[in-house]
Structure formats: structure tokens, C-alpha cells
Structure 1
Amino acid sequence: MKRLLLLSTALLVGAGLPALTACTAGTESGPPKVAQSGASHEPVTIEFWHGFSADNELKAFDETLAGFQKKFPWITVKPTKAVQDSQILQSVRGGNPPDVALSFTTDSVAEFCKAGIFQDLNPYLKASGIDPAALFPKVIAEYTQYQGKRCVMPMLADAYGLYYNKTLMQGHQPPKTMSELADLAKKLTVKNDKGDIKVAGFVPTSQMYENAPIHTGVMVGGKWTNPDGTSAIGSDPQWKKLMTWQKDLTDWYGYDRLEKFRKSFGDEWSAENPFNTGKVAMAIDGEWRTAMLAADAPDLDYGTAPLPVADDQPQRYGAGYITGTVIGVPRGAKHPEAAWELVKYLTTDTGTLVTLSNAIRNVPSTLPALQSPDLKKDPNFQTFLDVFANPDSTTLPAHVNSVFNQQTLQEAQIKWESGRASDLDALLAEVDKKIDEKLKLTAGG
């Protein structure tokens, strides 16, 4: 489940990542060892840090780790929940990392690989006879490596779509285009006598939970970078189209009223999420919300659909943004061979991935798991499997400044939608300038 908010991941930017030297797994004492069935092993305890925290997630992981322990009785796993990337980074820099670490974001994979935060897993894959190109869908294989170094493995994937409250929709079908979304949002919005929002058809601002540009950019097919790594945001008219659409709908609500309404929401990951409680009729979210709704709002009558697309791009309807959870062996892990066994179990074992997907409702990340007859495919979850399989679905290209680039664009979006910037062309040109200057400082990655 993707849980790290974009602006919070900015802690990784400028945190001295390049100062860490790369450390390739298995090069100091020969090729890595692969566990052999029936062999004698010394008991070992490994630390496993992950970001999951919801009750259903923790229960699923406890059951999964119990299965791992049964298969590898000499390896005891000590899990730590609710860990963020900044903590993983600090542990590596401090020389006391866990043996296995899981991240909810692919945004930092390029920097993780380049700086050696996680060890290169190619030697382990070779020793285990695993071919990533044959095991993983192409988009997943791409976002778990950088410049030939695969320093993390995918462990489940995320796809984004539109959730809609069937009761509040009043018989309307989910919108397929952005103009349909705006029109329906207005029809479904309810205000009180003072003009304050009681129910929003849709909250368009980039500050709304999952409305960061990395997720909404796919609605218009926005391009992030040029082939040389420089910013394409200012020169790509699609970003201007998206931001103009957001601003027009924001102005219809009134920015101050919309912000007052947004700030009244409960925590995104709690039962008080406004979609759960009927305060928002339509919302952008990931596939994991299906499991959270089953736990927190079991009586809510809702549906899911692909994200609406630009009116002049109807052929792209069905596409969405793809990302996922990644897991690896941090630099300096005390028990790398045992750590690899856990990583391999969580990322390549079909039964494990299907069980986790059914429990926490993330998309399985291997081709065999996607095709498993044991995978639960109810209609609301099927939407995300279809988005995941859509050839027009995209992920963010690996870039050493990925987090910085996203943060810079979102800061510009906030200025624009709030009315603190009036010249959109100049604003996007400034985004390009900041991104390109940052790229020069990092020597192009």
C-alpha cells in the first residue's frame, strides 16, 4: 500500500545520499549462498522493517511470516511496523540497518541504487536462477532497477483509479472524461445556507490525499522528463491542461471554502476518511482502499472505475498510474543470505503473493500470481487489475531527483490553485528551471 505522502518523502532529498558508497551484494566473500533444502543451518534472527500498520495488514504479515518460518525454521524474523524511508536511510548512514527493509514508494529507487542504500540483488537472482524479465510485468521490472542495478524487488503493486459512492451518485455513471468529472462534481456537491460545503462531488486540489501530480498526471498523459533527464513539464501542454482544469473547478467551489472543507477530514488511513463517511462522492485512490472499506465501512455502496482522461484523449481511458511496494537488503545488513531468503519468499513465491493480495488487496507483482486461480477478483478489485494490465498505464521513470521533481511541481500546483500565482506559463517555466538546476548539481544522475 502506497502510504508515504509526497512532501514527507522530501526528507530524502539533500540528505546526503550520494555520500554513501555502493556495496554490491556477494562481492566481498564470493557469490551469495542460496539455502538448500535439508541442509544444516545455524539459527539466525533477522530484523525486518516495513511500513504496514493497519490491523488487517499486520495480521496478513504475521500469517505470512509464520509460513516463512515453517519453510526456513532456522531463520527467526523480528518485524518492526510503520517504518518510513527516512528511518531506513538514517539506519544505513548510522551503520545499524535492518536485514530487510520495505518501502512504500518507488520514488527513491534510483537514488537508493545509485548510492548503495540497498545492495545490488543481481548476484542473488543469478545464484537463485531467477529471471526478472520472465517473472515480472515490464512496468514493474523497470521501476525496481536503475542503470542496470536491481537493488530492490517488487512486493505487490499499486494501481490508481476513481472510487464513487453509488448512493451519492444518484444514478449517474462514473465519468470517463475530465469535463464529465467536473460537471458531475458540481451536480453532486451539497452546500449549506452559508455556502459552506457539506458534501463535495470531487475535491480537485493537489493537496487532497492522493491527488498529487504523480497520480493525476496520467489523466492527461503528462510528460515528466526529456531523454536527457531535463524537465519536460513546462514544454508539455498537458500539464497546463491539467492545472487549468483543476483551477477552474477549485474556483467554482472557492479555494478558501474548499480548504476549510478539506481540513475537516479525518486521517486518510482511518475509518474517518471522507469517502468512507459519505462527505465526498468521488475520489482518486489505490486498490488497497477496497480492503479498508470492507473493514471500516462495510455497508457503503460504492464502485470503482478508471481515472477520467482528457476530453481529447478518449482512447486512453482505462489507464492509470502504477507503482508499488519494494523490498531489499540494506547496505550493512548483518545476515544478508538469510535476508535474501525472506526477500525471495515475499517477492517470488506465488502462494505468498496471492495470499497477501487477497488479504490487503494490493495487486500481485508477478505474472504467475496475476494468473493464479486463487486470486480473488471481485468487480471493484478487478478495475485495478485491468488498469494494471492497460498498456497506456504508466509509472514515473527512474530519476535520481524523482522526489525533488514531484515536490517542485506540487508546490507550483498549490501556488496556482490557491491563487498565489497568476501566470501559469511562467510558473511552469520556473518549475523547469528548478528541476534542471538540481539535475546539474547531481551531474545528471
Structure 2
Amino acid sequence: MRFVPLAAAGLAVLSLAACTAGKEGGPALGSQSKPTNTAPTALPAASIELWHGFSADSEVKAFTDAIAGFNKKYPQIKVKLVKGVQDEQITQAVRGGRPPDVASSFTTDSVATWCKSGVFQDLNPVIKQDGVDLSGLPPVVNDYTQYEGKRCVMPLLTDAYGLYYNKALMKGHQPPKTLSELTKLAKELTVRNPDGTIKVAGFIPSGQYYENTAGHWSAMVGAKWTNPDGTSAIGSDPAWKTLLNWQKELIDWYGYANLDKFRKGLGDEFSGKHPFYQGKVAMGIDGEWRVAMIANEAPKLDYGTAPMPVDDAKPDLYGSGFTAGTVIGVPKGAKNPEAAWALVKYLTTDTDALVTLANAIRNVPTTKAALESPALKKDEHFQTFLDIFANPKTSTIPAHVNSVFNQEALQGFITSWEKGSVKDLDAGLKGVDKTIDAKFKLSGG
């Protein structure tokens, strides 16, 4: 899976807060005088375009292979794939009256805005009409594909986050289950040079390091993002204080300047020079897709995977984690909405299609049938993430019209906090609430 910088993804979200979707194209799903009919023999010949965010050759091939199954079922429908498309491009195309028939995003950050503004069509009518059973979806997936009663996207694949650890550097230790165990082991596994600089880090607690985002971390302490009315809960939920106090204690043990210098000298996250591959970091938080990258970029690495450590006071959270996934839907104005829905339904409910994508991209499929398919490639490393995804306590960032803004506000605060620029944590977190709530009010919340 590839990730979009929050600032880039935010362009679409911030511009859509008070706008509606663009010009009309084809009829809206479920608006016809007769029910939508997606039976293979009922649909006329059509050419449809699917935009997606994947760009690596292996990922593009995976989509092509999955589409091949659709072509066998619907030979009269031709599908053109357009790769490397980001959320803001989808939004602008819809607003400009030039939408694709189908669009996919590998972030859930825009879902609330897309549903609320109508950039993507509500799929509830055709889901009901076609008898698509969504009861098998985990609650967290059910939540991140809809907003305020509108399900404007379907889940395609998902990510789950856990702990990766280098077995050689672990020196026989088992992976930590609590934050206190993580702290203790991180200190024990850290190796310093004679001058005190870091040679090997047991664990890097900086929010500026790769996958150490507030969203991924929130699952370790069961932290809340929002209140029922959509306002920020960050300043009132003590779980955030638990998380940040834990983080700061470990950063201070390393020394912020020392740790920052070490971090800045590490290799790129998406390259063969990743510090975990090179034995420079013993443990780290990462997604299930790293399993495939290690197989390609560091096949001899002896490593293990485990759930993320959790708050000592909440041991029942162990085994869960953070999840967020790829979503797909039919934009407003799609020229061939019936054919578009047929493709969306096929890619998100057909077991063979989901397994084909999951095996190639090494993301977690979202349906029970795909998860249990004997064709799904599993090993001890990947199984960890299947188990995390299936855990009922696994969480995500709740759908919100300002999802990107909210994350950026908290992430920026965390950067100031770990540097030592924040003297009063309570006041600082309440300040984050104030910033988020002011933006929410401007967005009509």
C-alpha cells in the first residue's frame, strides 16, 4: 500500500467542506424508474473507467488480474484502468463534471466529506436491491465506509498495524505486550556508540518516524478522537495523556537531539535501506504490507510480527490494533452507473477477486469468505495481521469531515511536545481541541 501525505490529501477535504458535487452525468444509482439490474445479461455494452491510487507495477498488475475475472463475467463491459490517482484529483474531476465511472482511494480520510457532499453516490439503495450482505463486515469497516447514514463507498482491502521485531536483536526476548514492557525492552536493546550517540535503537518513539502517527498509536491506548457531536475528545480523554507521557519519557531517556539526529540519518521507509532491514532498529510499528516488502527487499531478515503493545491499565486491548483501508465507489455523474456498480460489487464481494488483490498487494481482504479462502496466502508473519483485523477491539479514526485537518493538528502538537516545547500537557491538548472545534464550526458542524 502507498500512503498520501496528510497535507496533500487535505486539499480535497478542506476545499469540500461547504461545496456540493459537480455537473450531472449519468442517472444516479437507484433513481431510475425501474430497479438497477446488474445481471451479466442485462447490462448493455459499455466502456467504463476506473481510477485508483496504486502505481507500482505489481499493484497495477494485481488490479488488471482482478479485472480479468470481471471481464469473463461481463464481456460486454470494457474497463480502462487509470493508476496513481489521488483523492483531490477525484474530487476536482467530479466538481468539474468529468468524473470516472469508478474511483478507489487507499485512504479513508475523505469518506465523510465525499458522502456528505455527494461527490460519491449513496450505495445503500443498490446494496439493498441486490441483497448484498454486509453483516459479515467488522464494525470498524462498517463505520469507515459510511457517514451520517450514507454508504458512499465499499471496502476493498484493508490495512492492519502491529509490531515488527528483529529476532537477532531481541536477544531471546518475547515481543512486549504493554507499554511499560516496550519501554524496558527498548532501553535494553538500544546500543550506543562510545560518544553516546545511538548505534541501534530498541524502538523509536518519535512521532516523526515513519508509521508513528497519532492514528496508529491511538489503538494502543484506546484513545477517542471525537465526541458524539463531532467535537474533539482529545483534550478530555485521559488515554491521550497516557500515550504522550509514555512517549516523552522514552524520548527523554534517549535525549531528543540524540534521537532526532539518529532518525534523520536513517534510510528511506520505502526502500531496501529501511533501518529495520539493516538492524538499526529492533522494533517498530508497521502495516501488514511490510511483510511483502521484506520478502522482496530483505528476504534473509529473521523477524517476527505481533500485536502492538497496549496501555498497562487496558490489557484487554492486546491483540487488537489500528485498521484503515482501501475504499471504492461510484462518483456522482458517472456516465455508466449500472456498469460501474456491477464492477464495484464484483471487486468488493467476489472472493476470487479479493484474494487475487490481497495476495498480490499483501493487504487484508475484508469479507469473511476471502479471509477464510484456502487460496489466500498466509504465513506466520501475515497471520498476525489477519488476527488483528478480526479482533473486535481493533479501531480506526472515525469518519469526520475534517479528518485530515484533525490528524494534522494533533500530529503537529505531538512534534512540539516531543521536542520539549510544551510545558503543560493538559493545556496543550485542550488547545488542540480548540483548534479542531473551530475548524469543525466553520465546516458547518
TM class by smaller structure: over 0.9
Residue of structure 2 in register with 1:112 after alignment: 114
Residue of structure 2 in register with 1:33 after alignment: 36
Say if 2:16 and 2:117, in contact at 8 Å, map to a contact too.
no
Identity level (%): 62
Q: CA deviation at 1:300?
A: 0.8
In structure 1, distance between residues paired with 2:254 and 2:144 = 37
- Are 1:320 and 2:324 an aligned pair? no
In structure 1, distance between residues paired with 2:109 and 2:63 = 24
Question: In the TM superposition, what are the counterparts of 1:239-254 in structure 2 within 5 Å?
Answer: 239-254=240-255
Residue of structure 1 in register with 2:407 after alignment: 406
In structure 2, distance between residues paired with 1:172 and 1:31 = 64
Residue by residue over 1:398-438, the C-alpha shift from the partner in whole angstroms, topping out at 9 and shown as x without a partner, is 22222221111111111100122221111101011112222
Question: In the TM superposition, what are the counterparts of 1:290-369 in structure 2 within 5 Å?
Answer: 290-369=291-370
Residue by residue over 1:252-288, the C-alpha shift from the partner in whole angstroms, topping out at 9 and shown as x without a partner, is 2222232222223333223232223322211111111
Say if 1:99 and 1:330, in contact at 8 Å, map to a contact too.
yes
Q: 1:388 to 1:232 in 2, by over 3 A?
A: same
Say if 2:13 and 2:404, in contact at 8 Å, map to a contact too.
yes
Say if 1:32 and 1:337, in contact at 8 Å, map to a contact too.
no
Q: CA deviation at 1:236?
A: 1.2
Say if 1:144 and 1:154, in contact at 8 Å, map to a contact too.
yes
Say if 1:119 and 1:330, in contact at 8 Å, map to a contact too.
yes
Q: CA deviation at 1:389?
A: 1.6
Q: 1:278 to 1:37 in 2, by over 3 A?
A: same
Secondary structure of 1:14's match? helix
Q: CA deviation at 1:28?
A: 5.1
In structure 1, distance between residues paired with 2:49 and 2:160 = 29
Letter in 2 for 1:267: D
Moved more, 278-287 or 369-378: 369-378
Q: 1:40 to 1:436 in 2, by over 3 A?
A: closer
Q: CA deviation at 1:32?
A: 5.8
Residue of structure 2 in register with 1:93 after alignment: 95
Residue of structure 2 in register with 1:374 after alignment: 375
Letter in 2 for 1:112: W
Q: 1:125 to 1:31 in 2, by over 3 A?
A: farther
Moved more, 189-198 or 81-90: 189-198
User: What stretches of structure 2 of length at least 5 have no aligned partner?
Assistant: none
Backbone CA RMSD of aligned residues: 2.0
Letter in 1 for 2:244: M
Moved more, 20-29 or 202-211: 20-29
Say if 2:158 and 2:366, in contact at 8 Å, map to a contact too.
yes
Q: Alignment partner for residue 45 of structure 1, among 21, 44, 47?
A: 47
Q: 1:3 to 1:245 in 2, by over 3 A?
A: same
Residue by residue over 1:327-386, the C-alpha shift from the partner in whole angstroms, topping out at 9 and shown as x without a partner, is 111122222222212211110001111222222221111122122232233111111111
Letter in 1 for 2:439: K
In structure 1, distance between residues paired with 2:306 and 2:133 = 33
In structure 1, distance between residues paired with 2:275 and 2:55 = 20
Residue of structure 1 in register with 2:5 after alignment: 5
Say if 1:48 and 1:100, in contact at 8 Å, map to a contact too.
yes
Letter in 1 for 2:54: F
Residue of structure 2 in register with 1:103 after alignment: 105
Letter in 2 for 1:55: D
Letter in 1 for 2:294: L
In structure 2, distance between residues paired with 1:18 and 1:291 = 40
Q: Matched residue pairs, number? A: 442
Q: CA deviation at 1:173?
A: 1.0
- Are 1:225 and 2:226 an aligned pair? yes
Moved more, 397-406 or 187-196: 187-196
User: What stretches of structure 1 of length at least 5 have no aligned partner?
Assistant: none
Q: CA deviation at 1:40?
A: 7.0
Q: CA deviation at 1:169?
A: 1.3
In structure 1, distance between residues paired with 2:315 and 2:16 = 44
Secondary structure of 1:282's match? strand
Secondary structure of 2:47's match? strand
Letter in 1 for 2:130: S
Say if 2:104 and 2:327, in contact at 8 Å, map to a contact too.
yes
In structure 2, distance between residues paired with 1:253 and 1:25 = 57
In structure 2, distance between residues paired with 1:402 and 1:194 = 43
Secondary structure of 1:357's match? helix
- Large movers: runs of 4+ above 6 Å: none
Letter in 2 for 1:56: S
Q: CA deviation at 1:219?
A: 0.8
In structure 2, distance between residues paired with 1:367 and 1:30 = 34
In structure 2, distance between residues paired with 1:40 and 1:7 = 41
Say if 1:354 and 1:364, in contact at 8 Å, map to a contact too.
yes
In structure 1, distance between residues paired with 2:418 and 2:337 = 48
Say if 1:34 and 1:127, in contact at 8 Å, map to a contact too.
no
Q: CA deviation at 1:21?
A: 4.2
In structure 1, distance between residues paired with 2:56 and 2:187 = 34
Q: CA deviation at 1:67?
A: 2.1
Residue by residue over 1:149-203, the C-alpha shift from the partner in whole angstroms, topping out at 9 and shown as x without a partner, is 1100000111110011111212111111111111211222223333332322111
